[in-house]
Amino acid sequence: MNQSRRQVMQLGAGAAAVGLAASAGLMPTVAQAADAPGWNVPLFEAKSFNDVAKILGGTPTESTDVQIIGPDIAENGAVVPVGLKSNAAGTTALAIVVEKNPTSLAAMFNMTDASVPNVATRIKMAQTSNVYAVAKVGDKLLFSKKEIKVTLGGCGG
């Protein structure tokens, strides 16, 4: 009896949270599958930071308007916490690029005018590498980078 009561309470709490998020206009979007319309296959097949920049259509410029937050040393490359934010007005996308990963682009976040360009996630890293935070601002690409040392690789091994 307690088990079913607990399950009912959990379902009720989840439904309430979804209802609250919907009323605030904060519904999550679904991640796109590789064959979904709008999926940019060449972007996720890029092998370097420069390849990603070329596909995004801009010349990368290092800027203090873009910040990357992450550990100096990641004990496990399978779950490296990384945050990025842009203070540049008109940011339309944020991306995380890992220089020495088999696939350089780790994540891409599209922004709207109503979005605050500040995101956090966990990424996989194969080895110690520079990690780039890239902000697309109009036809410019602004970036900052940080070296994250990995003691136990998370990609391909």
What's the pLDDT score for residue 2? 47
- Distance (Å, whole) CA 147 – CA 125: 11
Looking at the whole model, is its pTM more than 0.75?
no
Residues contacting residue 151 through CB under 8 Å, at least 6 positions apart: 73, 74, 75, 76, 77
* CA–CA separation, 72 and 2 (whole Å): 46
CATH code of the region 38-150:
2.60.40.2470
pLDDT score at 11: 55
Per-residue pLDDT of the chain (157 residues; tens, 9 = 90+): 444 555 555 555 555 555 545 555 544 555 544 455 556 678 878 889 999 999 888 789 999 999 999 999 998 999 999 999 999 999 999 999 999 999 899 999 999 888 899 999 999 998 999 999 999 998 899 999 999 999 876 665 4
Q: In the prediction, which pLDDT does 70 show?
A: 95
Indicate the helix (H) or strand (E) that contains 152.
none
Give the pLDDT confidence score for residue 35 in this predicted structure.
Answer: 53
Measure CA 71 to chain center.
16
- For residue 86, list its beta bridge partners: 66
Dist. CA 64–CA 75, nearest whole Å: 28
Q: List the chain domain ranges.
A: 1-30, 38-150
